[in-house]
Amino acid sequence: MSNNDNGDNKGPDPRIPRFNFNNRIALISLLILVSFFVFFFVYNDRSGTAELPYSTFQTYLDEGQIDQVKIIDQYEIQGTFKAKSGDVGFFKTTIPYPDPDLMKSLKDKAVKVSGGAKAVSPIAVLIQFLPWVIGFFFIWFMFRQVQGNGNKAFSFGKSRAKRYMDTNKRITFGDVAGQDEAKYELQEVVEFLKSPQKFARLGAKIPKGVLLVGMPGTGKTLLAKGVAGEANVAFFHMSGSDFVEMFVGVGASRVRDLFEQGRRHAPCILFIDELDAVGRTRGAGYGGGHDEREQTLNQMLVEMDGFDTKDGVIILAATNRPDVLDPALLRPGRFDRQVVVDMPDIRERELILRLHAKKLPLADNVDLARLARATPGSSGADLANLVNEAALFAGRKSKDRVDMEDFEEARDKTLMGVARKSKIIPPKEKQMVAFHEAGHGLLHYFLKNADPLHKITIIPHGRALGVAFSLPEDDAYSRNRGWLLDRITIAMGGYAAEKLMLNETTTGAQNDLEQATELARRMVCEWGMSEVLGPIAYGQKDEPIFLGKEIARHKDYSEDTARAIDNEIKKIVEGCLAESERILGEQRDKLKLLAETLLVKENLDDDEIRTLLGMPPRKRGEFEPATAAAAPATPAAVPVSSAEGGL
């Protein structure tokens, strides 16, 4: 992304191969070799040599016309003869049988006799020389590769950074929807790359390194390219895993080469994606403190500390695990600024959808604002995939435009899995699924803190036989106790409906029980929502730094406390189950009607359910409870699904 010429300097076209000096040498060598073989063939091919029968040879010998002969391997005679006109010619003949009188006759006629071996054929010579010719050209080819491609044959220690400098495809902040705060922070980097003297005269120092932190798919790499595009400078991209190889010392060598490239092309941006692949805390991995990854990290620390602000080189890096990075990387003077690239909110999701959908022919009924509200917790990559899936659905149906139905199907596929309409379910099991999902869905209308219901389906999606799906009215970053209790109550609704209508429960409630128990456990152990145990966090996460994921929880409390925790969790879950049984028992007729209608139609949305049950249409903002949807994945948010279903 540097300043390219506009066509004024007409140099050689790089797409046309140039005929350089090394190519001339190779061509001359090839011509000499070919000339040698041509001469050899011509020299060995005596076109003036006459093939004589042995009887004719004997006649010429008796008449004294044979001048000299050369006997080859006792079977062939070559020589010269004099014609009656005085001309001299070459001949050859083959001895068909052993002739004991031949030598006596030659001696009597005073013929000069010599002997020799049969000459090697040109084909044999070619076969013998062929390996040498192939070896010569192989060595020449390897030599050309080493010279013409930057010593690729010995480039283990060279950086594999990709350089983007095409101004025609330059990405700017205008190509990044949302992320206003992140772009504001990065705008300072752009200003420094454009006008470094503006900061230098005030004595200000620009941050040497900027770390982009965010969940996967939020656009960290796109923002880094946007910085390079806005500043119109070279952009070098490299993954953290590209540094480490099986050869010792290669990673450190590549780090040195990458930073050297940056100095040569300053001002520029060096972008290291997935920094946690090489920047994890030292001493926490296998191999002690001397493994290859840690040596690579040490070299990176040295290079970053040696960078001078006047070099005009900015190091950007991206990771979704800043907690596992080595503290030396995050100190001032290295990555001294962290820019959080968060999940998009409802306004940003709409902007992202519009950005990706502007290339599609949209129908008039497409409501991107509603779609943005229907995709809480989705990243920019998720939304781009959703738009693409909608276009694929429209293409399968041979439509001219992408309509809202295609977007609905794409969203359901993305969030719940592919609809398995061909799956045959026995009638009794299908009835169980209908009562189960009707139990989930009906509770939305009788609980104050629940999110609005969107649709219920008993068509299998993914691993679930049915789904009750809800949508929050607005993004939420934290939840209160009332919402959590209603969420558990709705999760237990399928279990309660099966028990109420069928007098038994099924394995379809497995996922619901897991969600309800996990929420209750976190209420007690993490969020201090138990009156008995109080506002105390119980249990620390065991998270090995080299694995980067929670594998267990450390028990740092007594057996009596553990028993109290179990009792509180059981009390919450059983209390919510009793509440769901009470509501469904009071609304038994509506539960039965809803389940029977689901058996016929298989899909029901909120408006259809309200019409069926005789409820007024819901107005935005009024109390019309529904079921739990996914809160954005923040540390304080509740990581729960936006659908309830059974296996």
**410: CB partners within 8 A, 6+ apart:** 386, 387, 389, 390, 392, 393
Assess contact for 643 and 412: CB atoms under 8 A.
Answer: no
Q: Which two tokens stand for residue 564?
A: 């109290």
Unique residue bearing structure tokens 């409906």: 497
DSSP state of 402: B
Q: Which of 230, 303, 437, 579 is catalytic?
A: 437
**15: CB partners within 8 A, 6+ apart:** none
DSSP 61-117: HHTT-EEEEEEETTTEEEEEEE-TTS-EEEEEEE--S--TTHHHHHHHTT-EEEEEP
Closest CA to 315 of 251, 415, 406, 238: 238
**Burial category of 222 from C-beta neighbours within 10 Å (exposed 0-12, middle 13-18, buried 19 and up):** middle
Residue type, 124: A
Bridge partners of 422, per DSSP, are: none
Bridge partners of 247, per DSSP, are: none
Helix (H, G, I), strand (E, B) or coil at 485: helix
CA angle 448/452/454 to nearest 5° reads 155
| Measured distance CA(563)–CA(549) in Å, rounded | 27
Q: Which two tokens stand for residue 379?
A: 């990243």
Q: Which two tokens stand for residue 79?
A: 């020589």
* Residue 410 host element (H or E): helix 404-416
Residue 525 dihedral angles phi and psi, to the nearest 5°: -90, -25
Cβ-defined contacts of 195-201 (< 8 Å, 24+): 196/267, 196/310, 196/312, 200/310
Q: How far is CA 615 from the centre of its chain?
A: 49
Strands 66-72 and 112-116: parallel
Active site residue 437: yes
Q: How far is CA 240 from the centre of its chain?
A: 13
Region of residue 232 (phi > 0: left; psi between -120 and 50: alpha; otherwise: beta) = left
Q: Which two tokens stand for residue 25?
A: 């040498």
Q: Which two tokens stand for residue 429?
A: 């099991």
| Measured distance CA(503)–CA(347) in Å, rounded | 46
Task: Respond yes or no on whether the N-terminal peptide bond of residue 122 is cis (omega within 30° of 0).
Answer: no
HEC profile of 543-558: CCCCCCCCCEEECCCC
**194: CB partners within 8 A, 6+ apart:** 231, 232
Q: How far is CA 593 from the centre of its chain?
A: 48
Bridge partners of 456, per DSSP, are: 468, 604
Residue type, 220: K
CA distances from 333 to 210, 309, 533 (A): 10, 10, 45
Q: At what angle do helices 559-586 and 427-443 cross, to 10 degrees?
A: 100
Catalytically annotated residues: 437
